[in-house]
Amino acid sequence: MSVLFECEYRGERYVGFEKPVPGEALTLYRVNDGRLQAEFIAAESPEEVVAAIKAEVEPITVEGGEEQVRYLPPLLPDTTGNALLSGFMRTHKSKFEGEWSEDDEFVAPNWFFKGFGSWLRLPGDTLVVPEKAVALIEEPEVALVYVNDDAGNPRYVGYTFGNDLCDIGLHIQNPGWNPYCKLCDTSIAPWLFLGEPPQSVTGHVTIERDGAPAWEGPFDCGGDALYWPIQQMVDNLFEYPALRRPGLVNYVLLGADKASYHDGFRIAHGDRITIDVKSHGVVLSNDVSFGLPKPAAQQG
């Protein structure tokens, strides 16, 4: 399956078309901000995007590989207001009785707004949550990526994976506080898979405390695990004009199944959450910080 990634190298923006191999050189193509969005809007297929860039841009080779670059969330614009992060809640079959069928009336799942695309964090970054968070939950999810054309029509470009970390304890205290519950950093993988939304996504979560595993468990977040068809969920979402501004990039999270919280585990300050999406060879590993670090003058 084709994979695309963007990164910064020596102060400029580049794209690569193969998932990097640790320790090996990277082949990169220089692109201006917005170039990939424009190519995806104009192209009939992802293969056309790859071909267009390769035909017009001279590649460079970066020895030393990943140590020389800074990865970016897929298609994230430089203008911070031009990308939104949002998602669906309570989408998994495990949270319902019975199966949904095409004869059933579609009732849209709950949806939340998480923040601007610039709020996304990458593997290795610290995920900051409110200092007085009640009870956190990690949420391994598929993230669909869309870019709107000049008329505001959303064009699907591919998918990646994220950790929608949130304060489920606050939500349980009062579901009306869910917007506050979602004000936790979200981690996203930099790899954009150029294919249809995946039906099967399986993996394993490990939460470490003081360098040792404190909780582990499996997850499944592919389309086959969801109660509603993905296309119906996103078609309904994009009926709302606010998400259809021309040029806007949308990152849409598809929801998560039960996780460490439901097993009685409570994430603490300094824990490291590692989401290993084994089916796709993707790992997101992030430390958790309750509150922003204090300024140096206040420490000690």
Beta strand pairing status for 202-209 and 212-220?
antiparallel
pLDDT-derived band at 100 (thresholds 50, 70, 90) equals confident
Signed CA dihedral, 243, 76, 4, 274: sign only:
negative
H and E: helices and strands count for the chain: 5, 19
Question: pLDDT (tens digit, 9 = 90+) per residue, 194-208?
Answer: 999 999 999 999 999
Distance CA 129, CA 262 (A): 19
Query: Which single residue is written with the structure tokens 């021309």?
Result: 246
Q: Which of 91, 130, 113 is nearest to 233 (CA)?
A: 91
Facing residues of 144 across strands? 159, 252
Mean pLDDT of the chain: 93
Please list, residue by residue across 47-62, b when 16 or more beta carbons sit within 10 angstroms of its beta carbon and e when fewer do: eebbebbeeeeeeeeb
Return the percentage of the chain with pLDDT > 90, whole number: 83
Domain 80-291 listed as CATH 3.90.850.10? yes
Q: Two tokens at 213?
A: 């595993």
Distance CA 269, CA 148 (A): 38
Q: Is the pLDDT of residue 291 over 80?
A: yes
Q: Which of 62, 178, 172 is nearest to 111 (CA)?
A: 178
Q: Two tokens at 193?
A: 């898979």
Distance CA 226, CA 258 (A): 13
DSSP letter at 121?
B
Q: Is the pLDDT of residue 283 over 70?
A: yes
Q: Two tokens at 23?
A: 């320790």
Distance CA 13, CA 35 (A): 10
Distance CA 273, CA 127 (A): 10
Radius of gyration of the chain (CA): 19
The residue ranges of every structural domain in the chain are 3-72, 80-291
Q: Two tokens at 66?
A: 């990943």
Instruction: Select the more confidently predicted residue: 100 or 297.
Output: 100
Distance CA 74, CA 120 (A): 10
pLDDT at 300 (0 to 100): 53
Question: pLDDT (tens digit, 9 = 90+) per residue, 33-51?
Answer: 899 999 999 999 988 999 9
69 to 28, 54, 57, 281: CA distances (angstroms):
10, 20, 19, 20
Q: Which of 28, 7, 240, 277 is nearest to 143 (CA)?
A: 277
pLDDT at 296 (0 to 100): 65
